[in-house]
Amino acid sequence: MKTSKSGRVIWLTGLSGAGKSSIAAELERIILQQGNAAYILDGDKVRCGLCSDLKFSPADRKENVRRLGEVAKLFADAGIICIVALISPYREDRQLARRLVSQGQFLEVYVNAPIEVCEQRDPKGLYARARAGEIKDFTGISAPYEPPEKPELELPTDRLTIAESVEKILNYLATADK
């Protein structure tokens, strides 16, 4: 896949443990290998810097998505494929991020795994801690997640491998660029 001259935003949304970061890392690797510019904005990593002042209230989550949307727009404007791996639990906030970029530049990818699968994949034990009441406002347990209604792609990661998921994204991009 050779991308168009303009960048784009690939927004991976889904529960913790659904596979967003793993897919983002492999997708970035392949895009770079193909000679295109790419960068990942990972929710966990930006919470250590750019968004370190934010907690997990609905207002703070909205601001987190807004900030990442604005940064992703800058990357896309520079011709870079920006891969955002972020739970981003609210539809309205994801729509705000979509509206920041030009028509056709935003690809919403629903990384969809059942919560039971996400809990099995959880190496940090966050779900267990959330169920025990140790973590407040944990998406999928004590805070809501609103699945996308019309994502460009849905990846059922309980049935797809990382490689298969990345292939679906690359195929979508190749078709969209024609």
- List, by residue number, the catalytic residues: 88
Q: Which helix (H) or strand (E) holds 130?
A: helix 126-131
Structure tokens at 103: 């028509």
Contact 145, 15 (CB under 8 A): yes
**Residue labelled with tokens 């994502």:** 151
Sheet of 106-112, strand order: 38-42, 81-85, 8-13, 106-112, 153-156
The letter for the amino acid at 17 is G
CB atoms within 10 A of CB 115: 16
The letter for the amino acid at 72 is A
